[in-house]
Amino acid sequence: MGSKILLYLLLVLIIVPHIDANQYSVSLSKTISVDTVMVMLTSFGFAIIVPSLRDYFKSDIRKLRLVILVGSVIPLLFYVVWIGIIQGVLTSEELNFLANAKNTITVLTDLLQTKLHNGWLITCIRGFTSICAATSFWVWLFACVTS
């Protein structure tokens, strides 16, 4: 987890100096796609684990509320910062191209590499996506083994 956060912070530090504040004034499409809704639901749709958390915290509702609040706010902040950075770097045409791409990670990497010309960028993105995929696999494997 520490390496994932470190790579995220490195990506932020690499990209932030290239933000163009004028990009924020460009109005983007207000429509919400089904893909966006699905990502939001899976990212913050943790209600199914609340009974287990309640057992874990021995029905201490105050602790349970705090855990759910902190556990929701931290990823939300990471998402909002990342989306803000990407929207500050890419033009609306590039964002639309990215939104319609089949392999968004590759397209995003190519767009950022073209704009930023930073050798560390590709390494950080590949490391970050690899760690994310590995931790997702580990969670799946753990769920299979323990069930």
Domain of residue 97: give its range. Answer: 2-146
pLDDT higher at 8 or 47:
8
Reported confidence tier of residue 83, pLDDT bands at 50, 70, 90: confident
pLDDT computed for residue 62 by the predictor: 92
pLDDT higher at 138 or 116:
116
Is residue 4 within 8 A of residue 132, CB to CB? The reply is yes
Digit-coded pLDDT (tens) for 10-40: 999 999 998 988 887 764 554 556 666 666 6
Residue 3 reports pLDDT greater than 70:
yes
Across the range 94-118, mean pLDDT stands at 88
pLDDT computed for residue 16 by the predictor: 92
Provide the domain count of the chain. Answer: 1
